[in-house]
Each structure stands twice: as C-alpha cells, then as structure tokens.
Copies of this chain bind each other. A is one copy, B any other.
Amino acid sequence: MTRKIITLLTDFGLQDIYVGVLKGVISQINPDVSIIDITHQIPPQDLYSASYCLGSAFPYFPPDTIYIGVVDPGVGSNRKAIAIQSPEGSYFIGPDNGIFTSVINHFPQITVRELTNSRYWLGEKPSATFHGRDIFAPVAAYLAKGIAFSDLGELIPQESLIKLPLTSYRVTSEGIRGVIQYMDNFGNIITNIPGNLVQGKSWRVKIANIIIQPQVTYSKQSQGKLLAVVSSDGWIEIAVNGGNAQQKLGLNLGDEILVEFR
C-alpha cells in the first residue's frame, strides 16, 4: 500500500531540534507515513512568505497529501487551531492566522474544523508555546492513519477564517501595476503579476526607474545583466543571469513594479 505524505512548512529553522521533534511525534503515532520538508526557513513569523510558499508548493504534491503549516506568533492565545479539507481530499493543518490565505483563495469551497478534540493531541493539555508538536503534528499523523475528519472538532464557517490583506495587481492606462511578493535564495524577485497577462505581447518592466527587457530564460541575457522572465510558477519575475537581482536592485517585499506595453 502506498504511504501517505505529510509535508512540513515552518519558520523553525534547522539549527534546533523542533523539526526533528515534529517528525518524532508523527512517527510515534504513525510510522508508515512519508514526511517531506517544504521549507523550515520561512523568516521568523512572516505569514506572507509562509502563505506564498505553501500556495506555490502544494500543486506539485499528490492530491491526498496532508500539509502542516506552523508559523505561529499567536501560539497559546485564543487564535484557533484548524484543519482545512480541500475538495481534492488534501488537508491543511495549522493556526488560523492567515498562513493558509493562498490555500483558501485557491479553492472555491473548503470544509474547516476547529481542532478541539484532545483525543488526537499529544496529551490532554498542550504546552502554551509549541502547538506544532502538541496539536498539529499528532492530528496530521492520525488523519494519515485514517481517522475521520469529522472527529477532529466542530465545523467552522469558511468565511470566519483569517486572511492576509494581499495586494492585487491593477490594470491601469500606463500598464499593469503590481508589487514584489517574494524574493528567493538566488535573489530572483517574484512579483504578483501573472505571466499570462503578457503572453504574445510586446512588454517590459519598470522598477525603481530602471527599464528591464523580457527574455525567454536567464541565459538569453548577458552574464550579470538584469532581465524579466515569466517564472516557473507563472509570475512576472526579475532576475540577473548568473547573479542576484535582489542584491543588484536593493528592493523590498511590497515594493511597486510596472509592466508596460508598446
């Protein structure tokens, strides 16, 4: 029988034992699961990066995958612990604090339960500072074992969930105005403008008063020069061939960008 997959996305970093402890707890309850790290290096408590990363990663996993997301500045407060069931049969488990914004926006309809049934926690009384270990990991392990979703706790309305106030791109007379939504480890700058809006058109990018020309891929530009490209996830991206656009331009998350047409 094929093993179920549980993925982990956190801001724990890899220096401490916290990620290992999540895996220990899951293995104790359900040793026959595959655990896959999406990333543990979300900047501490950065829910925007967490939502972007989870939303960009989940389309590449099997439909019955169980996703744990733990970026949880409000742990131990009255923020809810939730599990989301998608129409495809995947589950998203974590705090109700906006970390699942991209997931909620992706699926027209989801079913959500508050994790109130302590039978599926690590112990009756969770710690006040580590619900990843005490609630989210055990619930994921039990779900992978086949317990019923309805057993986890009461239904809560989809509309009650917390969503991050994401900026949308706007089509204006000058072109499409968007913002930087992510910058990756290579220094590539990912905007929130979908690449299909420039398909078949003559376009260029203006950012911080610099004009950047589009290319099909990195290596079509000269070494060390800026280029615009449609990213592998379908967004307008700014990069440097063989270099780091973030270092070259010195921009920040949320900075504005304009796509111009001719």
B28 and A14 contacting across the interface, CB-CB below 8 Å:
no
B56 and A32 contacting across the interface, CB-CB below 8 Å:
no
B36 and A77 contacting across the interface, CB-CB below 8 Å:
no
Q: How many residues of A contact B (CB 8 A)?
A: 66
Chain B nearest CB: distance from A63 CB in Å? 9
Given A185-B13, A242-B45: A31 touches B57 (CB 8 Å cut-off):
no
Given A3-B32, A27-B34, A229-B128: A39 touches B53 (CB 8 Å cut-off):
no
B60 and A133 contacting across the interface, CB-CB below 8 Å:
yes
Stretch in A103-111, A165-173, A199-207, A213-221 touching the partner: A213-221
A31 and B13 contacting across the interface, CB-CB below 8 Å:
no
A15 and B39 contacting across the interface, CB-CB below 8 Å:
yes
Chain B nearest CB: distance from A34 CB in Å? 7
A40 within 8 A of B: yes
A7 within 8 A of B: yes
A44 and B186 contacting across the interface, CB-CB below 8 Å:
yes
Chain B residues in 8 Å Cβ range of A17 = 38-39, 53, 56-57
Stretch in A68-76, A147-155, A254-262 touching the partner: A68-76
Chain B nearest CB: distance from A121 CB in Å? 13
A232 within 8 A of B: yes
Q: Which residues of A (9-64) have their CB < 8 Å from a CB of B?
A: 9, 12-21, 23-25, 27-28, 31-32, 34-41, 44-45, 53, 56-58, 60-62
Question: In the complex the two chains form, what is the Cα distance from A203 to B31 in whole Å?
Answer: 41
Task: Find A16's partner among B35, B53, B230 (CB 8 Å cutoff).
Answer: B53
Write the chain B residue with the least CB distance to A23.
Answer: B36
Question: In the complex the two chains form, what is the Cα distance from A224 to B172 in whole Å?
Answer: 40
A174 within 8 A of B: no
B60 and A24 contacting across the interface, CB-CB below 8 Å:
yes
A217 and B184 contacting across the interface, CB-CB below 8 Å:
no
B31 and A62 contacting across the interface, CB-CB below 8 Å:
yes
Question: In the complex the two chains form, what is the Cα distance from A15 to B23 in whole Å?
Answer: 19
Question: Which A residues are within 8 Å of any B CB, using their own CB?
Answer: 2-3, 5, 7, 9, 12-21, 23-25, 27-28, 31-32, 34-41, 44-45, 53, 56-58, 60-62, 65, 73-77, 127-130, 133-134, 184-186, 216-220, 229-232, 237, 241-242
Subset of 5 A-B contacts with CB under 8 Å: A14-B40, A28-B60, A75-B219, A76-B217, A76-B218
Across the A-B interface, give the 7 residue pairs with the lowest CB-CB distance, nearest first.
Answer: A76-B217, A130-B232, A20-B38, A24-B60, A128-B217, A13-B185, A24-B61
